Copies of this chain bind each other. A is one copy, B any other.
Amino acid sequence: MIGARGGVASVVAAGLVALQKKLTEHTGLTSSLSEFKDIGLVDWDSIVLGGHEIRSTSLLDEVRLFQQSSRAFDWQLIDQIEKELSEIDARIRPGVLANAGQAITALAPPEIANDSRTAREKIRQLQGDLRHFIDSNQLQRAVVINLSSTETQVDSSSIPHSWEELDKNLDQVNCALPASSLYAIAALELGIGFVNFTPSLGCGCPAIEEMALARKAVHMGRDGKTGETLIKSVLAPAFAIRNLQIMSWVGHNIFGNMDGQILDDPANKKTKVASKDQMLGQILGYTPQSHISIEYIRSLGDWKTAWDHIHFKGFLGTPMVMQFTWQGCDSILAAPLVLDLFRFAERAQRAGEIGNLEWLACFFKSPAGTTENNL
């Protein structure tokens, strides 16, 4: 996990241990549906978590903090998984930064924030960590999942289109790749699967995809479809099926976790809004006026609240309205999808698949390699 002590990763860790120790049910896990019972997904017990993190904190502290501020799950759970969380924490290494924007850089200690090494050097460090993680835990396979905060938007025209060129670029000081892409390269070069659960660039450029194919590695992204967008992706098709014309769709999101704090920086927010906003046109076949806003409201913590106002036209031109509000605990919604994606990506790797895993599209707001957004 990249961002291995962040909100989502904390819940992934707590949740996996709870599943391993049978302290919780499978609610929220798509991969636990009966449809997938017989396809040989990896058992919870066989999964070992580790990761990279730029912040100096402990996983246990983060899990406690999350529980106290969100009151999402029972506090008693933490006492029962304390030991295992510390073991996972011991497998988390210092991460790297690059072109992530000021808001994210401010979270890191000086040695990471001011690290002036080339992209290549940082990749080498990550690859050393990955090899060590696999060897020391005697693993057969690994999947890297990016759970870190949204980076500022990258001008993708500044990134070479072929791997040959991009590869050279990695040694240059002005390499425009953000950290999420360095992690992607580190994993994929080693043949390790990479899943980008965030709107950051990650593996989402032709050169990296080219390299992944060459290394026979799987990858998929971007931006986990957890709440408001999940609902949009079933509502919009309903309007389309009934030939009801959407005139405008407004979505207003408020929340107060660290993700929200980072998105409060306009540069980072731009990346996120772009990811949320392209779905409607793809589902409807036309582009209604839409407006998406995301605001950081401290008091809400991890409870992302969204209000959507859908103004549509029916028979004889009659205007009507549907509104919905969504009050979801964001990390609690995201964490099981991360576990699902790990299991599906691992299974695909084991089956010999390579390249982009379009069939995981339903997990993402901006699924790579497809324009199908209907859930």
- CB within 8 Å of B: which residues of A? 11, 14-15, 18, 24-30, 32-33, 68, 71-75, 77, 230-231, 233-235, 237-238, 241-245, 247-248, 250, 252, 254, 289, 291, 293, 295, 297-300, 305, 307, 309, 311, 313-329, 332-333, 335-336, 362, 375
Chain B residues whose C-beta falls within 8 Å of the C-beta of A375 in the assembled complex: 237-238, 241
Question: Can you name the residue of chain B whose Cβ is closest to the Cβ of A237?
Answer: B234
Contacting residue for A298 out of B26, B248, B299, B320, CB 8 A: B248
Contacting residue for A28 out of B30, B237, B315, CB 8 A: B315
Chain B residues whose C-beta falls within 8 Å of the C-beta of A72 in the assembled complex: 316, 318
**Interface contact A243-B29, CB-CB below 8 Å:** yes
Question: Can you name the residue of chain B whose Cβ is closest to the Cβ of A295?
Answer: B291
Q: CA of A333 to CA of B234 in the docked complex: distance in angstroms?
A: 19
**Interface contact A27-B289, CB-CB below 8 Å:** no
Contacting residue for A316 out of B77, B297, B299, B324, CB 8 A: B77
**Interface contact B332-A318, CB-CB below 8 Å:** yes
Q: CA of A20 to CA of B77 in the docked complex: distance in angstroms?
A: 31
Contacting residue for A326 out of B68, B77, B322, CB 8 A: B322
Each complex incorporates copies of this chain amounting to 4
Q: How far is the CB of A226 from chain B (nearest CB, A)?
A: 9
Contacting residue for A299 out of B73, B289, B295, CB 8 A: B289
Given A234-B234, A243-B30, are A318 and B324 neighbors across the interface (CB < 8 Å)? Answer: no
**Interface contact A317-B242, CB-CB below 8 Å:** no
Q: How far is the CB of A245 from chain B (nearest CB, A)?
A: 5
Q: CA of A205 to CA of B51 in the docked complex: distance in angstroms?
A: 60
Q: How far is the CB of A270 from chain B (nearest CB, A)?
A: 16
Given A252-B252, A254-B309, are A315 and B234 neighbors across the interface (CB < 8 Å)? Answer: no
Q: How far is the CB of A343 from chain B (nearest CB, A)?
A: 13
Q: CA of A318 to CA of B244 in the docked complex: distance in angstroms?
A: 26
14 extra A-B contacts, CB within 8 A, seeds A305-B321, A314-B329 = A24-B317, A27-B315, A28-B244, A28-B314, A28-B315, A29-B315, A73-B318, A235-B235, A238-B375, A248-B300, A307-B307, A318-B332, A322-B327, A323-B325
**Interface contact B324-A322, CB-CB below 8 Å:** yes
Q: How far is the CB of A22 from chain B (nearest CB, A)?
A: 13
**Interface contact B315-A243, CB-CB below 8 Å:** no
**Interface contact B244-A27, CB-CB below 8 Å:** yes
Chain B residues whose C-beta falls within 8 Å of the C-beta of A322 in the assembled complex: 231, 324-328
